[in-house]
Amino acid sequence: MKQFFAFVRKEFAHVLRDRKTLFILFGMPVVQILIFGFALTNEVKNSKLVIVDQAKDLASQQIISRIEASRYFDIEKAVMDPAQIESAFREGKIKLALIFPANFSKDLMHLNRAQIQVIADASDPNTANMLGNYVSSIIQDQQMALNQGNKIPYTIVPEIRMLYNPQLKGAPNFVPGVMALVLMLVCVMMTAISIVREKEVGTMEILLVSPFKPLLVIISKAVPYLFLSLINVISILLLSVFVLDLPINGSVALLFAESTLFIITNLTLGIFISIRTNSQQVAMLISLMGMMLPTVLFSGFMFPIENMPLPLQIISNIVPAKWFYIIVKSIMIKGVGFAAIWKQTLVLLGMTVLLLGLSWKNFKIRLA
């Protein structure tokens, strides 16, 4: 055990001495989260919207002026008929359309209940969802204002229709994606490089001649990166909660446990790469091309897996980030518990055990 701590201490010394790399490792997730985060918020502000006001009465005007006052929307003044709306959506000129039926005011006054149709461009599902929510809450505000001092409450029902992608499938939530990406990068690449460096420099021979157990070499190499990665998880979550206002709906403890599992999966992957390669450059290339690219492509973070051809869908199953992405999304967004994600957890666990076994076997062969 004492030997193990001596080794781990040395690994920390390596990591902490290399200030530039350390800065990149901690800076990268922050920058990525901010870039993704603000790119997304900018898009949602000042979204173009058309209003087809077939009612042209006081009630509809009140809602329109509320929307005008909001910083989320820019009203395209041109009055369009439904056919024009369709083409405006197709050309991407507008993100949202609001249609007041001709009898809007009448319904509201006599039936105490009126409808507004809201159509959103859901090819960008996240944005569509958000815009729909903004409009709904603006309408709700108006409803509350109307109901002040009224005995029989008025109800305005926004009928939201998602164009192109009604189920909002593959809603790209970038926080789980960035988490998967950053952890992948830190764990796989950094671990691989750190072990291969020992081979390149020649210190690996010395370690193999020493009575230090090969398995412990592997584990000690991974420990500092486990810590770095956990710090990254914390910083990503803090940023997303406090800067981007994305809440964590599920259990934070569960999220950390799952992140730790994913980190360990990646560490073993990095270890495996390092055992099969002999130069830092090769290790880096394999980690970048062989791991980063599939992570971006097949995790479901950028491109919905459901829309891929079957062979690619099958390939996506061997990408650990895919499973982690599902897990994080489920916990953060849907707020589910372990019962809903045990299968994905089991897959990650299986991958880890397999990789660890393969690594150890190959490591021993080098000794012989």
Contact footprint for other proteins (CB under 8 A): 2-3, 5-7, 9-10, 13-14, 17-18, 201-203, 205-212, 367-368
Q: C-alpha angle 337/338/344, rounded to 5°?
A: 125
Cα dihedral across residues 13, 15, 21, 27: positive or negative: negative
**Based on CB atoms, which residue is closest to other proteins, 113 or 213?**
213
- For residue 360, the minimal CB distance to other proteins (Å) is 16
Among 187, 325, 353, 345, which Cα is nearest to 266's? 187
**Based on CB atoms, which residue is closest to other proteins, 206 or 312?**
206
- Number of alpha carbons in the 13 Å side-chain half-sphere of residue 301: 27
**Based on CB atoms, which residue is closest to other proteins, 16 or 354?**
16
- For residue 243, the minimal CB distance to other proteins (Å) is 35
- For residue 164, the minimal CB distance to other proteins (Å) is 54
- For residue 201, the minimal CB distance to other proteins (Å) is 7
Q: Which two tokens stand for residue 153?
A: 């409450």
Task: Specify the DSSP element, H or E, that contains 48.
Answer: strand 47-53
Distance CA 162, CA 299 (A): 25
Going edge to edge, which strands form the sheet with 96-100? 73-76, 47-53, 96-100, 113-121, 155-163
**Based on CB atoms, which residue is closest to other proteins, 168 or 204?**
204
**Based on CB atoms, which residue is closest to other proteins, 16 or 157?**
16
- For residue 14, the minimal CB distance to other proteins (Å) is 6
Q: Which two tokens stand for residue 318?
A: 């061997």
